[in-house]
Amino acid sequence: MVLQEQIDRHKLPEHVAIIMDGNGRWAKEKGKNRIIGHKNGVSAVRDIVEGAAEIGIKYLTLYTFSTENWNRPKFEVSALMELMVTTMSNEIKKLKENHIRLNAIGNLASLPKKVYNKLQESIAETSANQGLTLTLALSYSSRWEIVNAAQKIAKQVANNQLKPEDITEQLLSAHLNTANMPDPALMIRTGGEYRVSNYLLWQLAYAELYFSPKLWPDFFKEDLFAAILDYQKRERRFGLISEQLN
């Protein structure tokens, strides 16, 4: 039986977040330029998005470019930005055909104008779609996001729009980039590393973590399905004990 057929559609994680790690190492192992790894990583993105949509995942968030990634060699950053524009142009038709809505989080204002404009254009073109919401975390840092939320709340307190005692978990969540989506129930990281790398730190509080040794260009929908099946075997207690759940 193929993995997809083993998945219980009634126990799907509503939101899956992925750290797509290993493009550069994949290219290095093959004696190729790191950019080739990123280009091959696009094929993995396409397959994972397709697989998530097939089984009914509602939200998929991909760690596409972190604020720390700006410190990489200028050639690589420039090539990555150009790749993003090309990919969005090439994939927009398929996103619309599959009713996938594109979204983005992060310090989007820091993106090059060409990338920012294409991103906003693609988001607008898919805004009416009712299927999977595909979110790209671009120029994203969870610490930046939390500080940004705290600053917004502090301004409201300073303007007497809020009292300090009004600040709750729900209020802070409402000021995060992810305010309009549920927290991830499952976070997947490829590439064999065991860390979350400043990704959705607040939102991952109760997420199940799944680490794959596969480098991102080698991670496809069957690997996603394996992660979903592993998730479905776990008991999510949220601080309770098993007997309370039953």
Q: Could you give the residue numbers annotated as active site?
A: 21, 69
Residue 104 resides in a domain: yes
The pLDDT assigned to 199 comes to 98
Specify the DSSP class assigned to residue 28.
H
Distance between CA atoms of residues 216 and 192, nearest Å: 10
Residue 239 resides in a domain: no
pTM above 0.85, yes or no: yes
Boundaries of domain holding 202:
14-233
Residue 205 resides in a domain: yes
Residue 7 resides in a domain: no
The pLDDT assigned to 239 comes to 75
Residue 6 resides in a domain: no
The pLDDT assigned to 117 comes to 96
Q: What is the CATH number of the domain that holds 127?
A: 3.40.1180.10
Per-residue pLDDT of the chain (246 residues; tens, 9 = 90+): 589 999 999 999 999 999 999 999 999 999 999 999 999 999 999 999 999 999 999 999 999 999 999 999 999 999 999 999 999 999 999 999 999 999 999 999 999 999 999 999 999 999 999 999 999 999 999 999 999 999 999 999 999 999 999 999 999 999 999 999 999 999 999 999 999 999 999 999 999 999 999 999 999 999 999 999 999 999 877 776 676 666
Residue 215 resides in a domain: yes
Cβ count near 206 (within 10 Å): 12
Residue 2 resides in a domain: no
Is residue 222 classed as helix, strand or coil in its secondary structure? helix
Distance between CA atoms of residues 58 and 87, nearest Å: 22
Residue 246 resides in a domain: no
The total number of structural domains in the chain stands at 1
Contact indicator for 55, 9 with CB cutoff of 8 Å: yes
